[in-house]
Chains A and B, each alone.
Chain A
Amino acid sequence: MNELAIRKDGDIPASSFGELKLVPPSALQNLTLPQAERTLLGFELPTVARLYQQMILIRLVEERLLELFSQGLLFGTTHTSIGQEANAVGVINALDRDRDIVWSNHRCHGHFIAYSGEVEGLIAEIMGRVTGICGGRGGSQHLCFRNFHSNGIQGGIAPVAVGCALARKDEGAVAVVFLGDGTMGEGAVYESLNLASVFGAPVLFVVEDNEIAQTTPKNLTVSGSIIARAEPFGIRTFAYDGNDPVEICELAQEAVGYVRAEGRPCWLYLRTERIGPHSKGDDTRPALRLEQARARDPIPPMRQRVADFEEIDAFCRSTVDRAVESAAAAAMARG
């Protein structure tokens, strides 16, 4: 296997968590806060605290979304990434937000928040308000903000991401596309691997393997090895099993660095757990399996590492409260 780097929880001693290199994020420019004040994505914080803040922000937004749903304030569908936040912040923080491109799928809120910090625009979008990030046209699965895009068609985003990567290759940009284990069944994924390799597209395929697709466990739908899928296409592969955002970010930086430097695609496999339902109230997994998923919740271990996590939590919670309030006050999109 080509450059396969499977790491397990605890393989890496805490002391090796260095400060991550981050390009000044463009999202910062839009915030009206003075530099010294808190930013929503925690750009002023040290790495561990920053990643924690982004994770808890995602968690609180999505828990609130489920609440709003049960109160009848949301409609359609909304896929939360509760349990998978470490992937979102790990991968997105390895990117250059000024030029890199992100393609996400139905489960896109976490990726979106980590990229943009646009909590209010997201909540308003999902509530169908004119102030939503797409004016209430797209909703939960169809987001667009600068170079972030998502679409609710499994697999279809993969060739589009390849094209985006090729279009911006000369500028040194990298495109990332998020896929799930269930989406390994879509032919578009394999056409994309071939196209990306043949044309030398700087695209990072990220597979978030939570071992389930909607209600169907992986063993009923996915044959062979997900990790080994890209290598025969001549695509360098990284794999990780651990749910630690700092480790994921380091690995993603290595992968992104390779993609950018070589102008080649890369396959990054991340074993993860979906703690929440697929959408809402549709979790059919047995209690034991759910317990196993919850045991890998990435938030509690991070709280051990961030001294002032309560302060961060309070900051994020009030942000979410305000976002919901202002979204609810905005007009419904009616065209």
Chain B
Amino acid sequence: MRVVESINRALHDLMEADLQLVVMGEDVLDPYGGAFKVTKGLSTAYQDRVWTTPISEGGIVGMATGMALKGRPVIVELMFGDFIALAADQIINHAAKFRWMYNDQVEVPIIIRAPMGGRRGYGPTHSQSLEKHFCGVPGLTVSATHEYADPGALLHRALASRSPHLIIENKVMYSRPVFGAAALPRPPDADIVILTYGGCVEHAVAAAKKLVEEEEIATTVVAVEQLSPFPCEDVLSQVGRCSRVVAVEEGSPGWGFASECARALIGRVRHFSALAGPDHPIPSSREWEDDLLPGVDAIQAACIDLFKKG
């Protein structure tokens, strides 16, 4: 099963199971089924509860928040994750606030699905990884799905929690197979641990294979699914006694995933390095994108560097 099918299957199952649930977003209706085809078939099966919306990201997320507050859970699809900037106020000052500031008198079961990431040549405003700007917002859970987890199960868990969730999907990943957690490289007594998430996981896995084969460096890949709140304990236990950690993310450098990993690992590892995307916008040129975004070669090189430090 491919990632897009796993998510699509989960959407169908959730719609079937919860008659109050609404799925909404721009261009989500059949025959188109959303810009990345994730909602395909949904509007045919559940005509009344799949809503195509105006191009109003802030308005849609606000409306969904109001519906959720009054007992109708909503899964919102943002066409491109980049557009989440327009919904920032609704996410931060409304959806994520209500439960706590109203003294736990209410709940807000809303999921926002956001396709992020580059490597498709969409250029500066359609290729970003903006999730870090929404991490550390109390009341909001941010997760990033990947093909070594179960993308559909993540949706099920998020809805069951009846609290606001932002789920980051990756545009390139949609068409990749779901491998499951068992397929992640986890050699005993790893020389290096790569901490990563989302679209970078596949590159880290490929780099880990090359590191073993070409350099005999045993490399574990830890694919972090929940970004915020950051699962410190889980990450620490997965790093175990390994003294070298490389953190890899696709977004811009600093104030992000690597910083959070470093915070969790303070005093626990000897060597730590971080790889990220560029500190300027993502270019449209496909080849230039590949030069800039952390891929197999860059991850491999970073690991070798760290290994040489002792």
A binding-site residues for B, Cβ under 8 Å: 101, 133-135, 137-138, 142, 144, 149, 151, 153, 156-168, 175, 187-188, 191-192, 194-195, 198-199
Contacts and interface: CB of A to CB of B under 8 A. Distances in A.
B100 interface: yes
Contacts of A161: 66
B154 to A, nearest CB: 24
Contact of B100 (A137, A163, A192): A137
A261 to B, nearest CB: 20
Contacts of A138: 101-103
Interface in B62-104: 62-72, 74, 89-90, 93-94, 97-98, 100-103
Interface stretch (B49-57, B199-207, B230-238, B270-278): B49-57
Which of B58, B62, B89, B106 has most chain A Cβ within 10 Å? B62
Dominant secondary structure of chain B at its interface with chain A: helix
A188 B58 contact: yes
Given A138-B101, A144-B102, A159 B69 contact: no
B59 interface: yes
B67 A167 contact: yes
Nearest to A142: B101
Contacts of B69: 149, 160, 163-164, 167
A159 B53 contact: no
B95 to A, nearest CB: 9
Interface in B144-158: none
B70 A156 contact: no
11 contacts: A137-B102, A137-B103, A142-B101, A142-B102, A144-B102, A149-B69, A149-B98, A151-B94, A153-B93, A156-B62, A160-B90
B101 A134 contact: yes
B89 A153 contact: yes
B66 A194 contact: no
Contact of A195 (B59, B65, B94, B105): B59
Interface residues of B, number: 32
3 A-B pairs with least C-beta separation: A163-B66, A159-B62, A191-B59
Interface in B25-69: 51, 53-54, 56, 58-69
Given A163-B68, A164-B70, A135 B59 contact: no
Nearest to B71: A167
A122 to B, nearest CB: 14
Classify the interface of chain A: helix, strand, loop or mixed: helix
A225 to B, nearest CB: 22
A166 B102 CA distance: 21
Nearest to B72: A167
Contacts of B61: 159
A133 B103 CA distance: 8
A159 B58 contact: yes
Contacts of A194: 54, 56, 59
Contact of B64 (A151, A163, A175): A163
B145 to A, nearest CB: 26
A159 B103 contact: no
Interface string B96-139: 01101111011000000000000000000000000000000000
Contacts of B58: 159, 187-188, 191
Contact of A167 (B60, B66, B101): B66
Nearest to A187: B58
A161 B94 CA distance: 11
Contacts of A149: 69, 98, 102
A164 B66 contact: yes
Nearest to A158: B62
A144 B106 contact: yes
A153 B98 CA distance: 12
A195 to B, nearest CB: 5
B102 A159 contact: no
A194 B100 CA distance: 30
A137 B72 contact: no
Contact of B70 (A135, A144, A158, A167): A167
Contact of A168 (B60, B63, B70): B70
B103 A144 contact: yes
A35 to B, nearest CB: 28
A163 B94 contact: no
A198 B54 contact: yes
Nearest to A134: B103
A153 B64 contact: no
Contacts of B106: 144
A159 B93 contact: no
A101 to B, nearest CB: 7
A230 to B, nearest CB: 15
Nearest to A138: B101
B93 A156 contact: yes
Contacts of B98: 144, 149
Given A160-B63, A163-B67, A198-B54, 18 more contacts: A138-B102, A138-B103, A149-B98, A153-B94, A156-B62, A156-B93, A158-B62, A160-B94, A162-B62, A163-B64, A163-B68, A166-B66, A167-B69, A168-B71, A191-B59, A194-B56, A195-B63, A199-B63
